[in-house]
Homo-oligomer: A and B are copies of this chain.
């Protein structure tokens, strides 16, 4: 990341000097069409602010962990699962993911879902559901 005070937006949802990263290692967990960019990791704060973009029809991994997420939708539309409920999402909606709570973000079929995600810099490893658990846990998304 640039160490100048200003980091300029670039074309689309990109920033000068900010790498567009894989969401996760390929094959590490189920996901589809997600990118990750680290916008801020301010010295001394112990947190990161990242920008994730899920392409139309894509989704993040269904998972849970001790660390919390604070999410702000800034682009497009989609739907999220948090615990035993699902919500439609649009720009500027805020989502709090508490510790050890199953969660997943889906873009709409015809629009991307871009969101900021504030997290601790030190994070525990996500837990994945078994296939049977995944079916049960993700039921609200199909409801």
Contact = CB atoms under 8 A, between A and B. Distances in A.
- Overall SS of chain A's interface: strand
Interface string A90-105: 1111111110010000
A73 to B, nearest CB: 8
Given A6-B87, A47-B118, A40 B92 contact: no
Interface centre among A5, A42, A83, A101 (most CB of B within 10 A): A5
Contact of A118 (B7, B9, B118): B118
A5 B47 contact: no
Interface in A110-126: 116, 118, 120
Interface centre among A6, A95, A116 (most CB of B within 10 A): A6
Given A47-B45, A49-B118, A97 B5 contact: yes
A44 interface: yes
Contacts of A5: 82-83, 85, 87, 95-98, 101
